[in-house]
Amino acid sequence: MITLPKGTKDVLPENSYRWQFVERVARETAKTFNVREIRTPMFEHTEVFSRGVGETTDIVNKEMYTFLDKGGRSITLKPEGTAGVVRAFVESGLYAAALPLKTYYITPCFRYERPQAGRLREFHQFGVEFFGAESAGIDAEVILLAKTFLDNLGVKNVTLYINSIGCKECRKEYHKALKEYLKANYDGLCDLCKDRFDKNPMRILDCKNDSCKKITENAPSILDYLCDDCKAHFEQVKKLLTLSGVEYKINPKIVRGLDYYTKTVFEFVSENIGAQGTVLGGGRYDGLVAEFGGGKVPGIGFAAGIERLLLLLESTGEIKNEDGLTVYVAPMGDDARIKAFELVSMLRKSGVIADTDYMNRGIKAQFKYADKLGARFVAVIGSDELSRGAVKLKNMLSGEEKEVPFQELAEFLK
């Protein structure tokens, strides 16, 4: 038997309604915030991510699915959604369009990580990217969109953590102070963090290694090093969130694992789904469009991991399958079978979800099958019913039976 590659999953027919539910809520929520869909390719020139996500990140260093195509070009499967959208924004000259431009996407992503619950090598993101607005209002709107999406899904027990990691200028000062603080305990850092010490010291705050966590416990906070502009921006974001009734906690250790962030960063975290509890993460990236040659256009966005959301939804309750079978038409005998075929076509034309037997099953086996499919009604056609031009309709939940003429069945079921 040929099996799935490690870290990937099939979505089987009995489960696809859960995915469709999350995707439907994502699209509907985006729509109410006047956000339109953007679709970019599943693979890009590797440079899009090495430049976009950043050379010092784990994603670029260790996790990308990169290969040479038959033309000898270095190609990478997208490890996240933002960099490709920024590439498209610049390449299509969208910065000349009416700004802010508000986009969303639902996409598979690929990262060569060690698989565990909530961590896959192929996973899916619902993300948004907003371009062109510098004001704190858009930060609050993006966070509010994320919160509304989670609320609309019915997700419970998630905490919103926010932070500001400042601009290039304030970070220069902060890096100096952080390195000064870490220097004394450099030997206690894990190998990865020793490497981060010079390249990207802020990422050490985010390390899950126990020894690193202990060392960074009393590290200086970025919030004490923000310049006046970044400080005022963060104050305004907090004010607008409070005004909108969004609860949040400030966590100066949220730094995010991608290099492009500036100012506001945020994560929604759940305690219910194990170690991989971040269901949604995002932030502002004011320098990324310029990095792609698109001028000084600020940006902000987030992405939510759909697999993690599904884990969370399953841990707190079942998602209702609203697309289940309405009626199973169960014929007895060859003439009834022909009538059943005609009847399901008629029902489907009226928008009723209908199915019938193609396995020549006896009536008992048909009821069993209909039950497995979760049919709400079974419409039996025997020779008596056939002669009267009606079905015997059984409500599978209440057990109630009723004769309904063929012509009235669609109306009755709707």
Contact string (CB under 6 A) for ligand HAM, positions 79-118, x = contact: -xxx----------------------------x-x----x
User: Which one-letter amino acid corresponds to residue 192?
Assistant: L
Write down the least CB distance from residue 254 to ligand HAM, Å. 10
Tell me, by CB under 6 A, how many residues bind ligand HAM: 27
- Residue 264 contacts ligand HAM per CB under 6 A: no
Write down the least CB distance from residue 3 to ligand HAM, Å. 19
Q: State the Cα–Cα distance between residues 73 and 332, nearest whole angstrom.
A: 62
Q: Using alpha carbons, select from 232, 238, 161, 174 the residue that is nearest to residue 203.
A: 174
DSSP state of 59: I
| CA distances to 197, 264, 298 from 53, in Å | 19, 17, 16
Going by DSSP bridges, is the β-strand pair 36-37/101-110 parallel, antiparallel, or unpaired? parallel
Position with the least CB separation from ligand HAM: 305
Contact string (CB under 6 A) for ligand HAM, positions 342-381, x = contact: ----------------------------------------
Residue closer to ligand HAM by CB (options 29, 366) is 29
What tokens appear for 339 in the block? 């009538």
Local structure of 299: helix, strand or coil:
strand
- Residue 120 contacts ligand HAM per CB under 6 A: yes
Q: Where are the beta strands (DSSP E) in 221-305?
A: 249-250, 262-270, 278-284, 299-305
Residue closer to ligand HAM by CB (options 297, 336) is 297
Q: Which helix (H) or strand (E) holds 137?
A: helix 136-153
Question: In the set 136, 160, 215, 279, which binds ligand HAM (CB under 6 A)?
Answer: 279
Local structure of 244: helix, strand or coil:
coil
Burial annotation 300-330 (CB, 10 A radius, 16+ → b, else e)? bbbbbbbbbbbbbbeeeeebeeeeebbbbbb
Residue closer to ligand HAM by CB (options 201, 299) is 299
Q: Which of residues 33-72 bind ligand HAM (CB under 6 A)?
A: none
Contact string (CB under 6 A) for ligand HAM, positions 299-338, x = contact: --xxxxx-xx------------------------------
What tokens appear for 383 in the block? 């020779």
Write down the least CB distance from residue 182 to ligand HAM, Å. 24
Write down the least CB distance from residue 312 to ligand HAM, Å. 10
What tokens appear for 33 in the block? 């915030």
Write down the least CB distance from residue 125 to ligand HAM, Å. 5
Write down the least CB distance from residue 58 to ligand HAM, Å. 10
CB 360 within 8 Å of CB 310: no
Is residue 33 packed enough to be buried (19+ CB in 10 Å), middle (13-18) or exposed (0-12)?
middle
- Residue 257 contacts ligand HAM per CB under 6 A: yes
Write down the least CB distance from residue 142 to ligand HAM, Å. 9
Q: Which of residues 121-150 bind ligand HAM (CB under 6 A)?
A: 123, 125, 127, 129
- Residue 78 contacts ligand HAM per CB under 6 A: no
For residue 128, list its beta bridge partners. Answer: 104, 302
Binding site for ligand HAM (CB under 6 A): 80-82, 111, 113, 118-120, 123, 125, 127, 129, 257-258, 278-283, 301-305, 307-308
